[in-house]
């Protein structure tokens, strides 16, 4: 008995040890990013022996400098607006289509739903060149609409919401039908509010995807006044790649908003990813 308890304690110790080592590895890049951002360039490239903390004061002003010289306010605004519009469009179109596929009967349902499934299976790179041509023809290069364009509808979201609607009980809707509600009213007032968790998952997923995407904003918004945080970083790196504190301050500024949102809505993030299991 005694040895079993000792064994259990040893197991626990090993588990904690592994978890702590991994947590340390996960956090080092973040720590180094912030610490570098607070140094002067001279300190950052000093190899003597290892200069962990800034020696001559913490240069918080690096953030202010980067904020101004790279017009971060504009990047924030562009990114936020793009995310907002993408989330609105995705949720709106997907909840409507999801309701129809999940709960209504209509001719051609199997065929139309197979279009949704096929889109999910095709690698999205195949859409990019013609999408770019369309955005060019519409005159949407270097505009928010250009950034939002490929995300106006979502096959993945439709699939996710369809599953959500299918899981709801039948009686609620039947009762409402007897009370004389038409399909639109039943959808809007009874069914849609019940799929809130699926909607939240889709919103988080869409926001994360839009925030992280690099290739599309680089293609359609080549002007740094119209582009997003991700593509803005790529531009800055091309120009000022060897000013390490500047680059790290820019990276911190670019990831802070999503980290704050994540820390606030952690439960929704984790559940959203776990239940939707979308590919990011």
Partner 1 sequence: MNEPSKHKMTAAEKNEAKWALAFIAPTIIGLIVLNFYPAIDTVRQSFYKSGGLGRGMKFVGLENYAKMIQASETWQCLLNTVKYALVEVIPGVVIALILAVFLNKKLKGTSAFRTIFFLPMVCAPAAVAMVWKWLYNQQFGLLNNVFHTNTAWISDPKIAWISVGIIGVWSVIGYNMVLFIAGLQEIPGDYYEAAAIDGATGIRQFFHITVPLLSPTTFFIVQTRLIGALTVFDLMFMVMDKTNVALKNVMSLVYLFYDYAFTKSNKGYGAAIVMFLVVFIMIITFFMQKLEKKMVFYN
Interactions with partner 1, residue window 104-133 (CB under 8 A): 104-107, 109, 112, 115-116, 119, 121-133
**Between 18 and 64, CB nearer to partner 1:** 18
139 — alpha (psi -120 to 50), left (phi > 0) or beta?
left
Residue 178 is a binding residue for partner 1 (CB under 8 A): no
**Between 64 and 264, CB nearer to partner 1:** 264
CB of 64 to partner 1, least distance (A): 19
Return d(Cα 27, Cα 258) in angstroms, integer: 17
Specify the stretch interacting with partner 1 by CB under 8 A; choose among 61-69, 139-147, 195-203, 232-240: 232-240
Torsion of the alpha carbons at 206, 202, 256 and 76, rounded to the nearest 10:
40
Specify the stretch interacting with partner 1 by CB under 8 A; choose among 25-33, 56-64, 66-74, 192-200: 25-33
Return d(Cα 162, Cα 264) in angstroms, integer: 28
Among 23, 73, 138, 175, binds partner 1 (CB under 8 A): 23
Which sign, positive or negative, has the C-alpha torsion 163, 169, 175, 176?
negative
Specify the stretch interacting with partner 1 by CB under 8 A; choose among 53-61, 64-72, 80-88, 268-276: 268-276
Q: What is the DSSP string of 18-46?
A: HHHHHHHHHHHHHHHHHHHHTS-HHHHT-
Residue with tokens 């699939």: 159
Residue 246 to residues 72, 85, 106, 214, Cα–Cα distance (Å):
13, 31, 58, 20
Among 101, 156, 205, 209, binds partner 1 (CB under 8 A): 101
Among 6, 32, 55, 166, binds partner 1 (CB under 8 A): 32
Residue 137 is a binding residue for partner 1 (CB under 8 A): no
CA 241 to chain centre: 25
Residue 183: exposure state from Cβ atoms within 10 A (0-12, 13-18, ≥19): middle
Look up residue 52 and give its DSSP letter. -
Return d(Cα 141, Cα 223) in angstroms, integer: 9
CB of 34 to partner 1, least distance (A): 10
Residue 193 is a binding residue for partner 1 (CB under 8 A): no
**Binders in 51-80 for partner 1, by CB under 8 A:** none
Among 6, 15, 55, 225, binds partner 1 (CB under 8 A): 15
Among 26, 110, 179, 193, binds partner 1 (CB under 8 A): 26
**Binders in 197-226 for partner 1, by CB under 8 A:** 208, 211-212, 214-215, 218-219
**Binders in 242-261 for partner 1, by CB under 8 A:** 244, 247-248, 250-252, 254-255, 258-259, 261
CB of 256 to partner 1, least distance (A): 10
């Amino acid at each position: 008995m005694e040895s079993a308890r000792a064994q259990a304690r040893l197991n626990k110790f090993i588990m904690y040890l592994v978890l702590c080592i991994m947590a340390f590895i996960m956090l080092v890049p973040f720590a180094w990013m912030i610490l570098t951002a607070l140094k002067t360039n001279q300190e950052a490239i000093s190899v003597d022996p290892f200069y962990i903390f800034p020696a001559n004061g913490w240069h918080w002003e690096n953030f202010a400098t980067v904020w101004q010289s790279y017009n971060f306010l504009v990047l924030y605004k562009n990114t936020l607006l793009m995310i907002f519009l993408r989330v609105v469009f995705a949720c709106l179109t997907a909840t409507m289509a999801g309701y129809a596929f999940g709960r209504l009967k209509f001719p051609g349902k199997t065929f139309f739903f197979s279009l949704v499934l096929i889109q999910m299976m095709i690698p999205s790179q195949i859409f990019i060149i013609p999408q770019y041509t369309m955005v060019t023809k519409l005159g949407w290069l270097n505009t928010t609409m250009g950034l939002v364009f490929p995300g106006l509808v979502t096959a993945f979201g439709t699939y996710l919401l369809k599953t959500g609607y299918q899981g709801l009980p039948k009686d609620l809707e039947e009762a409402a039908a007897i009370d004389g509600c038409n399909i639109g009213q039943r959808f809007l007032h009874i069914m849609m509010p019940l799929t809130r968790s699926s909607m939240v998952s889709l919103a988080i997923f869409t926001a994360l995807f839009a925030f992280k995407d690099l290739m599309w904003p680089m293609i359609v918004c080549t002007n740094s006044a119209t582009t997003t945080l991700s593509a803005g970083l790529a531009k800055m790196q091309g120009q000022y790649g060897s000013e390490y504190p500047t680059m790290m301050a820019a990276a911190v500024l670019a990831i802070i908003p999503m980290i704050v949102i994540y820390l606030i809505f952690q439960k929704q993030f984790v559940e959203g990813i776990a239940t939707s299991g979308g590919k990011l």
